[in-house]
Structure 1
Amino acid sequence: MSAPQADVPGAAPRTTATGGAVTAPKQVNTAFWLYIASAALSLVLLIIALASVGTVTAQVQQSTGGKISGAAVGASITVSVIFGILYIAAYVLFAVFMRRGANWARIVLLVVTILSLVGIVSGYGIGAVRVVLGVIATVLIFIKPASEYFRSGRAARP
């Protein structure tokens, strides 16, 4: 077991069933920051999408011959922004729980990363960078010593 990492924010040590302290290995902390960077890029994509609302509204109205009102397009954009913000918040929350050793959060991040491969070509190149960061982070949390860290988390639970 290693000593607690006091200089790493959020890396509070857990205790195992035997009372020993377990801290996140460096690669788990690296993966955490990669997930945070990926979430930040998602926020940038959301801002870019908001900046192009007028253009999108005009294109939708033109392509439908005016059958869809600007209000309907605006409502759908509002719903998309709300879901985007919720996605980013959940992604960061899962990363925090993953860093604390929650294996379920590691699995959720794996699933989200696999699903995000669909969006690799979107987002003006930023989407690809976001997905690549998520893939690298996901690989890091499934190889040693991270896998041992998550196993020790299961052993620490009563």
Structure 2
Amino acid sequence: MPSRVNTAFWLYIACAAVSLVMMIVAIATAGAAVSQVQQSGKLSAGDTSAAVGVLVTTSVVVGVLYIVAYVLFAVFMRRGANWARIVLLIVTALSLTGALGLFGVGALRLVLGVVATILVFIPPASEYFRSGRAARP
């Protein structure tokens, strides 16, 4: 395995850790965001509670999906699975949606993912994935 693939693996694991931080920050700041809306008079107290619940649930679900995706597919990518490399490219592209949010933490995840994705698509790594595919029946 080329060292670049191993480096990319750890960068994807770092993306998973950043996703965990993003999930925690989103949950911690959910109440403040909803209270601003409540102060504007657009939501009742019951609607505010429901909004906090939806916001927290969405943050947890999306955060867990990102964490699982990065870790699971990074493991397969490290083993030489070309499809996992492509899925990680897609997951990194999807992280563009959160790049500007959560105090710059989303941008950090995007940068780590982009660097890792570049590492797995440049020649030494590409040869590794081609050889892994050729060795399979």
> Do both proteins adopt the same fold according to a TM-score greater than 0.5, normalized to the shorter chain?
yes
Tell me the equivalent position of 1:108. 87
State the 1:42 CA deviation. 1.2
Which of 2, 15, 22 does residue 38 from structure 1 map onto? 15
Gaps of 5+ in 1: 1-23
Matches within 5 A, 1:117-136: 117-136=96-115
Query: Whose RCO is larger (CA < 8 A, sep 6+)?
Result: 2
Separation (CA, whole Å) in 1 of partners of 2:78 and 2:90: 17
Matches within 5 A, 1:1-158: 24-63=1-40, 65-67=42-44, 69-76=47-54, 77-158=56-137
Q: Which has the higher helix share?
A: 2
Structure 2 contact 15–70 (Cα < 8 Å) conserved? no
Gaps of 5+ in 2: none
For normalisation by structure 2, the TM-score amounts to 0.88
**Superposition CA RMSD, Å:** 1.7
What code does the residue aligned with 1:150 have?
A: F
Separation (CA, whole Å) in 2 of partners of 1:119 and 1:110: 15
For normalisation by structure 1, the TM-score amounts to 0.78
Find the structure with the greater CA-based Rg.
Answer: 1
User: Which digits, 9 at most, give the CA deviation of each residue in 1:44-92, with x for residues without a partner?
Assistant: 1111111112212212323462256123213312133123112211221
User: How many positions carry a matched residue from both structures?
Assistant: 135
Identity %: 64
State the 1:141 CA deviation. 0.1
